[in-house]
A and B are shown apart, each in its own frame.
Chain A
Amino acid sequence: MRKWIVLALVLSLALFALGCQGATKQTASSSSTVEAKKEAYKIGAIVSVTGPASPLGAPEKNTLLLEVDKINKAGGINGHKVEILIEDDQSDPKNAVTAVSKLLSEGVIAIIGGTTTPSSMAIKPEIAKAKIPQMAMAAGIPITAAPDEWVFRTAQSDAVAVQKVIDYMVKTMKIKKFAILSDQNSFGQSGTEELKKLAPKAGLEIVEVQSYKTEDTNMTAQLTKIKGTKAEALVVWGTNPGPAQAAKNMKELGITIPYIGSHGISNKTFITLAGPAAEGVVFPAGRALVPSSAKGAQAEVINKFMSGYKAKYKDNPNTFAGHAYDAINILADALKTAGSNNEKLRTEIEKTTGFVGISGIFNYTQKDHDGTTLNDMVMVEIKDGKWIEKKATEKK
């Protein structure tokens, strides 16, 4: 018996020591350890690289590594190299809670993350306590709700995307009634809540709200219910593959009302999966999707990022990759003038004006930590498997 207890003890201690050692080693190797004259700026990131949110988190991680590499190759920030420590929360906020302490103990000067709204919320208090800036890449409204001293957001807030959709329905389509079909994950539910809040203000009536589980294989039942209503359009809020499934099922059921998507489907995967059913789908997206819609400087930024990403990862970046790009570059810009002092850094981020990013032109103020505005999104239509900008004036 006694030997057993000793063994249990030794084992747990040994494993623990091993765990700690291994973990730190791993972060070191995933960062770019370039010889630097000045002390490197350590930036932490908490991203959902694996788990259900990985379609969002994995490109974010790729982008962060890509951009940091770029910054360091250009000589760093005022001679300081940037070291990025990326933690995977496996799409579970529980892991984000421990990861944030790990990053803080490494002495990071800012944290990018999380990928999802719950993870961003889970780490918010701890980061605020440590008084360093947080750059969230998720869209949930409560992230930048008070207290928001230390948290910024680079994803367009759901409010922006939803407003874009509502404007489109009211101004371009001129309809009165619509139905919602959304994912039961945080992305879909946050969008649904915002639609419910903003639609009545614009004089729109929501006739039916349906949802599906992320993995659901068949949405014909939900769509049948919607078919039985007087909805003039269907708004589908989710990330792949749900919305593609919905588009296909709509075709099968012979539902002909227009399909309006969310920025969650602003990627090639949707078109591949939905096939012919993707034709005519309209959704809000950052200008990155249709570079021609961006003017001058932004077009250039977007094109450069897209070709760089494609060259390294043989894949097209999606909207969420754009959020990571904006987060790291806004931070880098602020670091240039503020240095690593936390108060100064936050003030500098709050001073960001006209930053040309992927998701939009960012203007933070002391009050507004969202940065982007309605103007930074466009409505996009899928035509012949390609994205084209749906101009608000078209139907007038």
Chain B
Amino acid sequence: MHFDQFLQYLISGITSGSIYALIALGFTLIHNSTKLINFAQGEFVMLGGLIAISLYSAAGLPLIIAIPISIILVAIVGIVFERLAIRPLRNSSNITLIIVTVGVSILLKNVAMILWGRDPQSLPAFTGDKPIALFGATITPQALWVIAVTVITVVLLQVFYKRSIVGKAMKASAINPPAANLMGINTSNIVMLSFAMSAGFGAMAGVLITPISMTGYSVGGFLGLKGFAGAVLGGLDNPVGAVLGGVVLGIIESLSIGIIDSGYKDAVAFFILLLVLFIRPSGILGDKVREKV
């Protein structure tokens, strides 16, 4: 393998990987406040992309306005979702809640199919689509957008968790909801906020990747799966881990195409994921949880 080829695989992997990373972040957010896996996470991504497309091409709004509106609308969807389907069940078992998110995901996906049709659609790249050459490899400006936003988001999230009161409250309510409640934290609002944020992040990811990969009603399941895998690989409770996991997953996929065979890329990626879990049962950067008895 030539160096420029290797570099291209790497760039290709990082491009897909940062898409997975952005979605993985959404998983971490909800997991960090509820210990839940939200199977509808991918649908937020899909909704974000499709709403932005409609605002841009049907309503004729400029991107800079269409994008924030789309993110806000999806965040509202997240809030409604939490209020109607998650909140009534806050005393139920985790698996029950997960099945609810599965139901919501089926619902959102198929409503989107009726609203937007079956064909995927695209958005123009934010800053042109002329590829940038880099040591014999190329990268698109939109991929740089994705990478930059991922990095900025994860830094801001770290600051948010470590410095802000709300962020600390979020972590506290995940670790021990009754105790957090006693400390005067409104855990119910915290959960709602985390759903809103997670949905918003999902929508942002959707908007960012639509120019790269196009968005149709059915992309949610696939992207959600990759995001979930990335989050688990990195450690579900750690945003930095989620980003790392997503990017590593993307690079593994890309390199396995280069070295092995594209038909087996998903198998290779999941195989490595399993290996990592067998060695580190809580992901690369995940905390080892000890049960207190």
Contact = CB atoms under 8 A, between A and B. Distances in A.
In their complex, do chains A and B touch, with some C-beta pair under 8 Å? yes
Nearest to A215: B222
A251 B221 CA distance: 28
Interface in B213-255: 213-214, 216, 218-219, 221-223, 253-255
Contacts of B138: 252-254
B146 to A, nearest CB: 11
Interface string A272-312: 11010000000000000000000000000000000000000
A225 B258 contact: yes
B262 A54 contact: no
Interface stretch (A199-207, A237-245, A341-349): A237-245
Interface in A247-268: 251-254
A221 interface: yes
B140 A252 contact: yes
A220 B9 CA distance: 8
B120 A218 contact: no
A222 interface: yes
A97 B174 CA distance: 47
A217 B16 contact: yes
A217 B119 contact: no
A55 B119 contact: yes
Contact of B118 (A55, A213, A221, A253): A55
- The SS class assigned to the B binding surface is helix
B214 A210 contact: no
Given A221-B254, A252-B140, A273 B9 contact: no
Nearest to A210: B262
Nearest to B16: A218
B88 interface: no
Given A241-B120, A254-B131, A221 B5 contact: no
A221 B12 contact: yes
Given A221-B257, A224-B9, A273 B263 contact: no
Contact of B219 (A215, A240, A269): A215
Contact of B253 (A50, A54, A221, A253): A221
A310 to B, nearest CB: 15
B173 interface: no
A374 interface: no
B140 A269 contact: no
A218 B212 contact: yes
A225 B257 contact: yes
Interface residues of B, number: 38
Contacts, number: 92
B15 interface: yes
A184 interface: yes
Given A217-B213, A221-B262, A252-B140, A240 B13 contact: no
Interface in A359-382: none
A163 to B, nearest CB: 25
A356 interface: no
Contact of B262 (A50, A215, A222): A222
Contacts of B222: 213, 215
A50 B112 CA distance: 13
Interface of A: 50, 52, 54-55, 58, 184, 210-213, 215, 217-218, 220-222, 224-225, 227-228, 240-241, 244-245, 251-254, 269, 272-273, 275
Given A215-B223, A224-B9, A241-B216, 20 more contacts: A211-B262, A213-B222, A218-B212, A218-B213, A221-B8, A221-B12, A221-B13, A221-B253, A221-B258, A225-B257, A225-B262, A240-B119, A241-B120, A244-B214, A251-B131, A252-B129, A253-B131, A273-B119, A273-B120, A273-B121
21 contacts: A52-B218, A211-B263, A212-B262, A215-B223, A217-B19, A218-B212, A218-B213, A221-B253, A221-B257, A222-B262, A225-B5, A225-B257, A228-B5, A240-B119, A241-B119, A241-B216, A245-B214, A252-B138, A252-B140, A254-B138, A275-B122
